[in-house]
């Protein structure tokens, strides 16, 4: 019975296979004979895929716009004119190396007096005459034609100029130029181009973001960020002195919820080197601390940034009384979480609390993701009599965070002592 059933099944299978082959042959012949017609479904699918691939390929490419000589001359004239006005400040500071922040801010103020909108490449100073840029961007958002100009200075001595032109199709054309001073203190052009931006946006927070072309990856990122709307001085001070120095790399000060009643959540040993660098203005020499951080040095640094007793520091810092030091593991490739970090944090507003503390609302920017709020958290600070702040708490804003940077204590990795 089983043998007969197998024979019948085999026969049926061969019959179906033959019918299928016969039915497909005319279709194939017809498809081959009418390749110039519209009856080829395989070609149609292939054409569609090719079209999509071509569109994606084009998105990755810069859309260069040809500039006539007059436009080139006007662009260089504006950039070089601004550079000449900054020449005295630049020349007096460059002798000692990179231009310092005070010099940058001085050059921004020179441009401001001329009615120019000048940005700081260090992102620690407000855009001068921001109102005219803001007005142009709001016109562009409403579908109007608009133009704006932005200059930029930075500590490496590169001066930049951007001319932004928006049409009624919501397209952005960017003319950009960069230049440096020669040894003879003459402006020298480094780059000049005009492009049609792949996309752009003006965020509610006041960030103008455009992507020159579709970014392929982190190494080939095409995003340009410019903060237009200003931040108040308290926000900027807390950002530069209490958030940026620590940030989110290899410590958890801003990556977990904690307050003064839950200090055990913090890894003071991983945090130490970042506070050390801020306190002394230099990086920790890892080689000198192979046997740990000496007791007095560790407690002195931590005590500058936390209102905490020595007993608590010893407990939460895992003090080794036999050695008279605190454990320390230098950052290495095998004792940290490998991941993309936010590009930079900024305090967007501050709130005065009834107990005298200040809560700083921090939103970290990711240039690679094109996001002005990649990670959000709230830092609470207490005031000291000398005007400095101490950390008293942190809360992760999980609802507003696109990504919370991962963290693992260095002591937990295999091989840690």
Lowest mean pLDDT among 15-19, 88-92, 252-256, 384-388: 15-19
At residue 21, does pLDDT exceed 50? Answer: no
3-state secondary structure of 205: coil
How far, in Å, CA of 292 to CA of 325, rounded?
5
Tell the burial category of 61 from Cβ atoms under 10 Å away from its Cβ (0-12, 13-18, 19+): exposed
> What is the number of other CB atoms lying within 10 angstroms of the CB of residue 408?
14
Residue 412 above 50 pLDDT? yes
Please determine, for residue 198, whether its predicted confidence score (pLDDT) is greater than 90: yes
Contact present, 382 and 389 (Cβ < 8 Å): yes
Query: If you average pLDDT over each of 2-6, 41-45, 125-129, which comes out highest?
Result: 125-129
Lowest mean pLDDT among 182-186, 218-222, 360-364: 218-222
Distance of CA 159 to the CA centre of its chain: 21
CA distance 240 to 245: 7
Confidence at residue 111, expressed as pLDDT on a 0 to 100 scale: 98
Tens digit of each residue's pLDDT (9 = 90 or more) over 343-374: 999 999 999 999 999 999 999 999 999 999 99
Residue-level pLDDT at 57 = 74
Lowest mean pLDDT among 226-240, 332-346, 356-370: 332-346
Beta strands 187-196 and 371-383, pairing class: unpaired
Asked if pLDDT for residue 146 goes beyond 80, the answer is yes
Per-position DSSP letters for 93-158, written without gaps between them:
HHTTSSPPHHHHHHHHHHHHHTT--EEETTS-SPPTTHHHHHHHHHHHHTT--EEEEEEEE-TTS-
Q: pLDDT grade, residue 31 (50/70/90)?
A: very low
Backbone phi, psi, residue 358, to 5°: -125, 130
Residue 3 or residue 206, greater confidence: 206
Average pLDDT rounded to a whole number, residues 249-265: 98
Four-residue CA torsion sign, 218, 219, 224, 227: positive
Q: Is residue 108's pLDDT more than 50?
A: yes
pLDDT class for 48, splitting at 50, 70, 90? Answer: low
């Amino acid at each position: 019975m089983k043998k007969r059933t197998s024979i019948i099944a085999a026969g049926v299978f061969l019959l179906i296979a033959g019918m299928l082959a016969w039915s497909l042959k005319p279709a194939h012949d017809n498809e081959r004979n009418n390749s110039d017609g519209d009856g080829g479904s395989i070609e149609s699918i292939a054409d569609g895929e090719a079209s999509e691939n071509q569109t994606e390929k084009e998105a990755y490419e810069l859309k260069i716009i040809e500039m006539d000589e007059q436009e080139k001359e006007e662009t260089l004239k504006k950039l070089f004119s601004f550079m000449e006005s900054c020449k005295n400040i630049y020349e007096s500071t460059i002798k000692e190396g990179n231009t310092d922040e005070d010099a940058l801010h001085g050059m921004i103020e020179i441009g401001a007096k001329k009615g120019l909108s000048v940005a700081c490449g260090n992102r620690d100073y407000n855009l001068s005459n921001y109102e005219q840029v803001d007005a142009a961007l709001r016109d562009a958002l409403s579908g109007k034609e608009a133009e704006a100009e932005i200059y930029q200075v930075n500590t490496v001595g590169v001066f930049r100029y951007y001319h932004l032109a928006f049409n009624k199709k919501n397209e952005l054309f960017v003319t950009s130029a960069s230049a440096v001073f020669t040894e003879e203190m003459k402006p020298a052009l480094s780059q000049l181009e005009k492009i049609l931006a792949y996309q752009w946006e003006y965020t509610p927070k006041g960030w103008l973001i455009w992507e020159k072309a579709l970014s392929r990856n982190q190494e080939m990122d095409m995003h340009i960020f410019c903060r237009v709307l200003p931040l108040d001085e308290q926000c900027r001070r807390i950002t530069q002195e209490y958030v940026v120095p620590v940030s989110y790399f290899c410590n958890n000060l801003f990556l977990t919820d904690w307050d003064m009643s839950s200090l055990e959540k913090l890894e003071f040993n991983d945090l130490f080197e970042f506070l050390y660098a801020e306190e002394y203005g230099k990086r920790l020499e890892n080689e000198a601390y192979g046997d740990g951080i000496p007791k007095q040095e560790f407690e002195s640094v931590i005590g500058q940034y936390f209102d905490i007793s020595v007993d608590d520091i010893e407990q939460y810092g895992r003090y080794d009384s036999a050695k008279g030091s605190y454990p320390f593991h230098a950052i290495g490739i095998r004792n940290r979480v490998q991941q993309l970090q936010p590009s930079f944090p900024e305090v967007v507003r501050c709130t005065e609390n009834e107990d005298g503390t200040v809560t700083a609302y921090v939103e970290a920017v990711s240039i690679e993701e094109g996001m002005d709020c990649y990670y959000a958290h709230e830092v609470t600070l207490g005031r000291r009599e000398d005007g400095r702040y101490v950390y008293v708490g942190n809360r992760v804003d999980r609802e507003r965070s696109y990504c919370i940077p991962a963290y693992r204590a260095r002591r937990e990795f295999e091989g840690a002592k």
